[in-house]
Structure 1
Amino acid sequence: MWNIEENTYEVCAPVLAEILDLPASERPDLLLCMSDRIALTAVTLAEQRGIRIPEDLRITGFDGIEEGQYRSPRLTTVQQDSTEKGRLAARMILGLEPASSHRQSTQLIQGETCP
């Protein structure tokens, strides 16, 4: 497991490069990224290295941002309502909603990066 502190290219690219530069026998064959921006960076860096997606490496994201559906290969992702998640977090911070666990709906968007 690798930790990426921020989902910007500048922060996540070096971590992903370290993973993708491992010898093929040591490199994971699946990356579960906790944001689509991280997943899209992984796709770009893998392609630059000649790593075939999904044959050599499967990649999934989490967010469901439109950008992932407009590139090729289309990103497999778990779509969530980020706007509502932000509103709920703000209501909790402001004391308008009890600070407790909430379950939000998600939907798997099956793309080409992890069929």
Structure 2
Amino acid sequence: MSKKTKATSHTGRDGYIMGQALVYAIAHIQSLPEEKQEFSNMCDMCIIARESNFAVFLPSHITGVFAHTGIKVNLWPEGEPITERDITLRAAIEISFESWQAFVAEHHKEAA
């Protein structure tokens, strides 16, 4: 008889935090000069992020990372195929990013 192990959340937000950490790591690698990027590792990180059960948080993570670092993460580096799921995720990321930009523009108008 085999025992099934159930994944345990240590914080109640493990997936959310791991997704955010991956996006920050990808952003850092993508900000490096091309010759210093660990491209293969970064591509694998992108796949893990896109295919994970925490992918639902990626639009807010990518927008948040841009807000804090100025780096817009590309989860589809050159050469990777784009599935229907990827197209939906990419659209959600763009909507999140555009909403954030509109919010910032409105905030700057009010402050002026």
TM-score relative to the length of structure 2 = 0.32
Higher relative CO (CA 8 A, sep ≥ 6), structure 1 or 2? 2
Q: Which has more helix, going by share of residues?
A: 2
Q: Which has more strand, going by share of residues?
A: 1
TM-score relative to the length of structure 1 = 0.32
